[in-house]
Amino acid sequence: MEEEEEEEEEGGPRDVSTTEEALLSEAATVAWRDVTYRVGPKLILDGVSGQIAAGEVLAIIGPSGSGKTSLLNAIAGRVPYEKRARLEGTVEYSGSYNLAYVTQNSALFALSTVRETLEFVARLRLDAVDREERVMQVVHELNLVECLDTVVGGSATVEKRGISGGERKRTHIGCELLHRPRFCFLDEPSSGLDSFQALSLVQTLLDLARGQRVVIASMHQPRSAIYKSLDALCVLGAGGRVAFFGTQETAAIHFSDAGFAIPPNYNPADWMLDVVSLDFRDPSKLAASRAAVAAVCDLHAHQWVPMVSKHKPAQEEKKKQDNWIAFRLLAARCWRERTRDKAALCFRWSMNTFFSFMFGLVYFQLGNNQTSIQNRQGILFFVAMNVAFAGPIGVSQIIPAQLAVINAERASQLYSEAAYLAATFVVGLPLECVPSLVSSSVVYFMVELRPGLDHFLVFAGLLVLEEIVGEGLGLCLSVTLERPEMAGQVAPAVTVLFVMFSGYFLNESSIPVYVRWLKYISFVRYTFQALAVNEFRGESFSCGDVSEDQSCVRKGGLVLEALNFDDVSIPLNAVILSIMVLGFNSLALIIFRFNAPAFLKFTTHPEQPSS
Ligand SMILES: Nc1ncnc2c1ncn2[C@@H]1O[C@H](COP(=O)(O)OP(=O)(O)OP(=O)(O)O)[C@@H](O)[C@H]1O
């Protein structure tokens, strides 16, 4: 029933096989010419050319630092933007295309199972009609059956043992293959796998390619069985030049022609890598290895025949995003990730309750005398301050901890920034507000603040509102800061600023003019003011605990006057706090969009026509 509803929501079933056949009937090719990539003065890729058609697996091999990842990024359009970087040349795809890009470090959500991870992507990328079947197909292709219901585990912030490194890699690849991409780019997919797993992965890539797909993978050091199974080879030499491009048979001839015939009984890939690496052990070895690299690369440059371009400019296919579905799926994932970390959740909630009891004990049953006036101000301020810290500290670390996965998902345009932030915010509401509501109630009744249900409800409502504003502030910090440790330090510091301008420590008339504006954005101030008005306006106090020569404040209104809060209106402050919720969330969205991963665009060589 649920499934049927979803089908309707997502536009109903579609004939996937027809769409797929139509897509595959166009021959997929990608060609790159004279790709040159520099970062500042450093030349990383030096005029690299090549092409590959559907049905084949191309392996980019080369020594460490020769530019394999950079070339793969350049072909896939994923070179990270940098001001001082420059990318020249052309890359042409045939027809419209959709691509998969599997990065080297497989960042995944730690507390989701393999099934949940795959289903999340499938629900965003595939129509309902063959979704389950496709997930299971990928699970079988990548041999993930055994670990399907195991959590991924092992992230920087969550210490939880999960699936193995190889399974993790295959899960990541599985996510990218779900939507049947025509072009698959994989950066070192076999790294971290044992030799059997690596070979079976390459076999999967070959099967994928045979299904009319282009597969390009960078590889560090393919074992001989893997080398033999590859269709085409691009060998990058030290310095980012192409040492060879073609099939294995021509590779043997090429290296032999350059004076480096592959010895019998030697893994050809190992031999080629030895030839095209620089040997820094001593100057003479360095000069000899430089000469060898130059000889092989020059011979390739001399023999390389650039193909005649038959390609029309192509557009990457974009799947239409449904923000509502994305929001629901993101909220479900966010809830999972935040609630499955039981230890962290219990720790936070117990600390919260502990401090509430501490506050309750220190200010236990205040009574109604003159001493209670100062104590009431104190406890109201502490409660407002406590709640102010909870939101920013709780929320600010969430996005930095997930950034690697989120950026990869954003690069694949899996969902919109608005859907992601809305889901993070909404999931945070019960998780942040419920404990804060519980602890505020404990304090209210232990301390015996102003009697009356109406006063308690205003008190609780204001604190919930403050918590929500704090969550918005936390989101702003979360999208700005890149590392969880940074968030952990910055969030309390920023909140302290707001606390300073709460109107409790500092008489507002004494605040220097140039920082006075800060008081207008201090959400702690609006909360504390409204809490004080709720507590004191219209309340009377007894003078039983003061001697005759001491002054006695009978009216709560006088307390508010002394605090400069006499003209504060609770509804107005609540409205201001609500506007702040909107303001902080909108600001978070603007910053998040601004920080979206950006990729370098090609600028053509001056001597080349731009079309
Ligand atoms: N943004 C950058 N700024 C400066 N240097 C860079 C940048 N990107 C890449 N490089 C340098 O370019 C060279 C090629 O890097 P790349 O990651 O493409 O090599 P690789 O062949 O994939 O290496 P490995 O096999 O070790 O992963 C390296 O020396 C690297 O330090």
* pLDDT given at position 99: 87
- Count of structural domains within the chain: 2
* pLDDT given at position 179: 87
| 551 pLDDT above the threshold of 90 | no
* pLDDT given at position 213: 87
Helix 453-480 vs helix 523-536: crossing angle, to nearest 10: 170
Distance CA 533, CA 547 (A): 27
Tell me, in angstroms, the distance from the centre of ligand 1 to residue 240's CA. 10
Distance CA 72, CA 237 (A): 15
Distance CA 457, CA 451 (A): 11
| 516 pLDDT above the threshold of 50 | yes
Q: Is residue 63 part of a domain?
A: no
**Token pair recorded at residue 376:** 């009431």
- Which atom of ligand 1 is found nearest the CA of 218? 22
Tell me, in angstroms, the distance from the centre of ligand 1 to residue 270's CA. 20
For 141, 212, 608, the CA distances from 341, given in Å and listed in that order, are 31, 43, 56
* pLDDT given at position 563: 85
| 13 pLDDT above the threshold of 50 | no
Tell me, in angstroms, the distance from the centre of ligand 1 to residue 66's CA. 7
- Which atom of ligand 1 is found nearest the CA of 80? 1
| 372 pLDDT above the threshold of 50 | yes
Q: Is residue 566 part of a domain?
A: yes
**Token pair recorded at residue 197:** 């797993």
Q: What's the N-to-C CA distance of the chain in angstroms?
A: 52
Choosing from 180, 214, 243, the residue where a domain stops is 180
Domain of residue 385 covers: 323-594
3-state secondary structure 459-490: HHHHHHHHHHHHHHHHHHHHHHCCCHHHHHHH
More confident residue, 582 or 486: 582
Q: Find the mean pLDDT for residues 538-545.
A: 83
Q: Is residue 151 part of a domain?
A: yes
Q: Is residue 253 part of a domain?
A: no
| 508 pLDDT above the threshold of 80 | no
Tell me, in angstroms, the distance from the centre of ligand 1 to residue 46's CA. 13
Of 406, 405, 410, 391, the residue nearest 475 (C-alpha): 391
Q: Is residue 499 part of a domain?
A: yes
Choosing from 157, 180, 203, the residue where a domain stops is 180
Identify whether the C-beta of residue 239 lies closer than 8 Å to the C-beta of residue 66: yes
Q: Is residue 425 part of a domain?
A: yes
Choosing from 164, 180, 196, the residue where a domain stops is 180
How confident is residue 309, by pLDDT bands cut at 50, 70 and 90?
Answer: low
How confident is residue 316, by pLDDT bands cut at 50, 70 and 90?
Answer: low
**Torsions phi, psi for 233 (to 5 deg):** -135, 135
- For the four alpha carbons of 441, 444, 447 and 448, in that order, the dihedral sign comes to negative
For 125-160, how does the pLDDT look when each residue is reduced to its tens digit (9 = 90+)?
A: 888 888 999 999 999 888 899 999 999 987 655 556
Residue with CA closest to ligand 1 atom 2: 39
Of 231, 189, 225, 179, the residue nearest 209 (C-alpha): 231
| 189 pLDDT above the threshold of 60 | yes
Predicted structure pTM score: 0.82
* Conformation bin of residue 365: beta by default, left when phi > 0, alpha when psi is -120 to 50: left
Q: Is residue 265 part of a domain?
A: no
For 325, 356, 427, 605, the CA distances from 332, given in Å and listed in that order, are 11, 30, 8, 48
| 611 pLDDT above the threshold of 60 | no
Tell me, in angstroms, the distance from the centre of ligand 1 to residue 215's CA. 21
Residue with CA closest to ligand 1 atom 29: 65
Encode burial over 364-380: b for 16+ CB neighbours within 10 A, e otherwise.
eebebebebbeebbebb
Q: SS3 for 236? A: strand
Number of neighbouring beta carbons within 10 Å of residue 609: 7
Distance CA 161, CA 164 (A): 9
Which residue blocks in 147-218 are alpha helix, DSSP H? 165-177, 195-210
- Which atom of ligand 1 is found nearest the CA of 66? 21
Helix 131-141 vs helix 165-177: crossing angle, to nearest 10: 140
Of 529, 518, 519, the residue nearest 466 (C-alpha): 529
Q: Is residue 68 part of a domain?
A: no
Helix/strand/coil percent split, the chain, to 5? 55, 10, 30
- Only one residue has tokens 């939507």, namely 179
* pLDDT given at position 518: 82
